[in-house]
A and B are shown apart, each in its own frame.
Chain A
Amino acid sequence: MSSCVNTSQTGPKKKISFIIRDEHEYSNRSAVSALQYDAQNGRLFTGGSDTIIRTWSVPHHKDAFSARGGVRSPGKNSPVQYQGSLEQHTDWVNDMILCGHGKILISASNDTTVKVWNIERDNKHGFIDCIRTHKDYVSCLAYAPIVEKAVSASFDHNIFVYDINANFKTVNNLIGCKDSIYSLATTPNLSLVLGAGTEKCIRLFDPRTNEKIMKLRGHTDNVRALVVNDDGTRALSAGSDATIRLWDIGQQRCIATCIAHEEGVWTLQVDSSFTTVYSAGKDKMVVKTPLYDFTKSQLLFKEEAPVKKLLLSEKDNPVSLWVGTWKSDIKRWSIRPSAQLSIGGDEDGPSTSNANHSVSASSSPPVTFKYIRVKDQKGQQSTPELVIPGAPAIKKHAMLSDKRHVLTRDSDGNVALYDVLAARKIKDYGKRIFEEVVDENSRQVYIPSWFVVDSKSGMLQITLDELDALSSWLSSKDAGFDDNDRETKLNYGGMMLRSLFERWPPCKMTNVDAADADDVQKATLNFISLPEHTPLIICEGNGRPLYRLLVGDAGKEFEANELAQIAPMWVIDAIERNQLPKFNKMPFYLLPHPSTNPKQPKKDRLSATEMLQVKKVMEHVYEKILSTNDDITVGSIPLNQIHTKMEMYCNDQRLEPDMDLRTVKHLYWKQSGELLLHYKPVK
């Protein structure tokens, strides 16, 4: 594995990321873009935006019918069983291929890698290899079973061919595409590779010579799906221009264009005899079209959300279609009119009549269909025969003003609160108005940001970078930690790093007891132990992942050694050498309040740490400025009573004694230039 890790010392600085999630993510969380079905073993592989590839055991069709109406997983009585997961990707999984006689799965991801998995039954070690030849999102894969080669294409304009039997060695690099590639196809013997994308034209390559053979022009927008027949004479393409096109490769021209869809077409499936195409995309319609006549499109069914992926469960005599959409549910729909009839007998009435109607329609001459636009047709199916229910995905998030908690709302509308320092969800609010809960949880305080949040996977991902991670100092009181010594300052980023690397030996060694701790050590002393299953990702400055491990595995020999090589310097400095940045100093001016009618206002320029509380400034004014004034007799006064002696203003707003200077600056001063504070003694 270390071979695929290439430490780049130059370029943008490395970042650290972790994901807040459950130990076992049994359900798919977000959009599903990749599906593969191993008919021999009855296993389905799913992948998508939540980065996790899952394996499901799927019953044969007979069993499925008895369990219509949805299944639960994991559950003992469910016909679809969650088997396991393959977790190494750190961004959307876009495509998968099943190869090596059903023993190997290859996946492509927005994390710019292609990963190879051993999927033999009862195999514990799934992960085999990580291929890092691409420099941008890897969008699609293709498989040539006769020669056991895999093909990948990416937004980086490159197409690579890998030899599955030779340790996935890269054997070809097909160059010629001038834009991002969104779709790919190959013949079974790899005599022909087709790639297309935002360039709008389809490029054909001969991998034996690495030559560009031709390009097919016709699409007016991004080409997002490609299929080629086994002998490489016909190709099908579909794209954002809402068309499906049939190409004659020998003649180098488009011989038919299907305009059944209303919006972009994103996925195509063709049966093995190359006679029927199944298509779907943004308009949610799943359409079946005979290749001999592109005007005879039929609406099979309409999905709830835009369709990212269709998969025929068997290509020789297709009876059902797996569908992945923007939603996390994965469905299997029957596409056999006869099957629909047989189920119809023990199902609800409307569905039966519906099925009857469609059957009679498709068996009668297609004249009845000819003038009905697909979107006006009634779907042949109304319910799927199988559903693998998904879990909600986080759709919205807001970092709270305490810079420790993140509030989220998921695709079901449920609001929840997460503690970043603990990498856990701490509260469910149910269905509430998001902004309201944000307001409820916001305090009048300014703390510098030290991490960024994203929810591209439907789960929370927290990222720390060198620039900001350690910039967040705050008093332990502001942080809500019980502390006798009120002066203790904490560093959230420093604590987070200690939490993340708690089990890593170099970090462990520098952990100390509270009693012996010096000020710098105290800053990170209160770190929280994280769930061991929390994935920790070290990535390049541009987000490309370098290494992924679980927080709990950092103490294992292999992972520990990897970390020693790959951990960024700024992380090592912080946790091994206890190096934290100094407090930020902030200059400000002190002036008597205009209402006190000062004769010659003296402007005092001072400088202090930005965490200095207003009451300390008051104390300074009381002891150093007002004491020189003869009118006021100065006695010693406890700090928590100082506000009874004077008031402090900024931009005419009276300040709370517990507020610190940076909060005053951000909430009241709100401008560039040095902060101006006015004091007014209370008589």
Chain B
Amino acid sequence: GATGSSQLEKEISTTESVNNANEHYYGLVNFGNTCYCNSVIQALFFCRPFREKVLNYKQTLKKSGASKDNLVTCLADLFHSIASQKRRVGTIAPKRFITKLKKENELFDNYMQQDAHEFFNYLINTISETLIQEKIAEREKASRHGTLKKGNVTVNLAPATAGLPRSDEKGTSERNGGITVEGNEFLNKSDTTTWIHEIFQGILTNETRCLSCETVSSKDEDFLDLSIDVEQNTSISHCLRVFSETETLCGDQKYFCETCSSKQEAQKRMRIKKPPQLLALHLKRFKFVEPLNRHTKLSYRVVFPLELRLFNVSDDAEYGDRMYDLVATVVHCGATPNRGHYITLVKSNSFWLVFDDDIVEKLEVSSMEEFSGMSTDANIQMPPGNQSAPQKNSESAYILFYQARDYAADDPNHNHKGKNSTHSV
């Protein structure tokens, strides 16, 4: 509502520092269960490096005079219209974006609740896919004039499936939302590295040590987000520790060691070799329960810190001691994955805000902990008289966006930010 907005306007004007007075806080209208989409868009809008790149994309497009209509341009238009509003607060309807999304992917073309993490994956994969195709198109354009040979271009994208959350039992395969491009002689790494990768991509290293010859073999894989298992009454640090826990391959699961030329016991662990600039941590709260034949929500209480230093990094990691600040959190509310609601907590300048579709409110840092989850397992059966408590506690952080502190400082676009957002029509 309008009154809420003006209230917020007052609140922010008193707390805000002068040089950052250009930030806009706009709620997004819900078009029928589109909160999964709204929540992710809000979080990404407040991931500064991402926002800058999206706005830059629009600028470049405008300069080149090309008219394009894809999910990226729709997102760029939406970001632009938020950033170029006269009023600091208000609501906006992301109609074009939603329409485009539903048209592009039939899995989102309905009025059902979707998994915000699925949508996040789909969105960043689609953006990088679009960017890669544009790069290839540019190159081909150049090759038509130049002497470059023509070749078949195949772009294999990680399946960006949407819809119901996938089974979380053995989540290793879904760790990698990366993009691989094969079969082209002159499609080099710079072609496949887009700003999506610059921002979100990290490297995991899978180390296996044979217990007989003690030879360590490691295999690297890229990731755009990390999916981690959750446990009751724990912390993000604990979940990351479990993620990197040593697993012993023994019994019938022995490892074929190349050095020993035979099956031996081995220990395996997954560590981070390159922490990304923007770490998207997905908490695997939706678990497929075989006997029920459906996904249930794990509302476990998992405390998330506002500052994070990764410790499960490999010995040869670059930026191994990176310090991260929490910048946005997508929160799932409700007891089941298919119903429920998504909201976003966002840090802007020095204070926190809650974006609940079209409603935007300020949030005290002290209340952040309420979004950790529930500390008891009796999540649904609560006495009727005590309804406020479970509602509050079933709001649990689902995707955490941590931004590297060094990155925010180094970001060359960071200084131009004001320009971009004020320079608008």
Contacts and interface: CB of A to CB of B under 8 A. Distances in A.
Interface of A: 49, 91-92, 110, 136, 155, 179-180, 182, 198, 222, 240, 263-264, 282, 306, 326, 395, 454-456, 458, 542
B252 A542 contact: yes
A456 B211 contact: no
A282 B265 contact: no
Nearest to B262: A456
B260 A180 contact: no
Contacts of A263: 214
B248 interface: yes
Contacts of A110: 262
Contact of B250 (A92, A180, A395): A180
Given A198-B248, A542-B252, A222 B260 contact: no
Contact of A306 (B213, B252, B261, B265): B213
Interface of B: 211, 213-214, 248, 250-252, 260-263, 265, 267
A155 B250 contact: yes
B252 A456 contact: no
Q: 7 closest pairs, A vs B, by CB? A: A456-B262, A264-B214, A456-B261, A455-B261, A282-B214, A180-B265, A180-B250
A238 to B, nearest CB: 13
Contacts of A458: 261
A92 B260 CA distance: 10
Given A306-B213, A456-B260, 17 more contacts: A49-B260, A91-B262, A92-B262, A155-B250, A155-B265, A179-B248, A180-B211, A198-B250, A198-B267, A222-B211, A240-B211, A240-B214, A282-B214, A454-B261, A454-B262, A456-B261, A456-B263
B130 to A, nearest CB: 27
A155 B267 CA distance: 14
B216 to A, nearest CB: 11
A32 to B, nearest CB: 14
A186 B88 CA distance: 79
A180 B266 CA distance: 11
A542 B251 CA distance: 10
A198 B265 contact: yes
Contact of A136 (B214, B251, B260, B261): B251
A454 B252 CA distance: 17
Nearest to A266: B214
A198 B211 contact: yes
Contacts of A395: 261
9 contacts: A49-B260, A136-B251, A198-B248, A198-B250, A198-B267, A264-B214, A282-B213, A456-B263, A542-B252
Contacts of B263: 456
A165 B251 CA distance: 32
A60 B373 CA distance: 75
A458 B260 CA distance: 10
A522 B402 CA distance: 70
Contacts of A240: 211, 214
Contacts of B262: 49, 91-92, 110, 454, 456
Contacts of B213: 282, 306, 326
Nearest to A135: B251
Contacts of A198: 211, 248, 250, 265, 267
Contacts of A326: 213
Contacts of B214: 240, 263-264, 282
Nearest to B248: A198
Contacts of B267: 198
B152 to A, nearest CB: 13
A647 B28 CA distance: 63
Contacts of B252: 542
Nearest to B214: A264
Contacts of A182: 211
A57 B267 CA distance: 40
A147 B264 CA distance: 34
